[in-house]
């Protein structure tokens, strides 16, 4: 039996659908500032630029991109606050 990955349940969901660059990233940055270390944030973004910008910023800021999934009309990012 193969092990399956389990995405942790989010502490907070940031619905940035309909926002354009840099809106979704700025919403994530604000949520990260309010979060505690170990919190899991989920960002929903319909902006195509977020697929590049959010993973880049998460890595640069020292957090962890746990999951990235294409949903109907938007991308779902799951981020673990590491510091």
Q: Which sequence positions are flagged as catalytic?
A: 21
The DSSP secondary structure of 20-81, one letter per residue, reads: -TTHHHHHHHHHHHHSPTT-EEEEEE--TTHHHHHHHHHHHTT-EEEEEEEETTEEEEEEE-
Residue for token pair 């919403």: 27
């Amino acid at each position: 039996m193969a092990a399956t990955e389990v995405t942790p349940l989010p502490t907070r969901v940031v619905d940035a659908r309909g926002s354009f660059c840099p809106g979704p990233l700025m919403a994530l940055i604000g949520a990260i500032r309010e979060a505690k270390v170990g919190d899991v944030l989920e960002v929903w973004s319909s902006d195509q630029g977020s697929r590049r910008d959010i993973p880049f910023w998460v890595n640069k800021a020292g957090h962890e991109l746990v999951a990235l999934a294409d949903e109907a009309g938007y991308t779902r990012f799951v981020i673990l606050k590491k510091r």
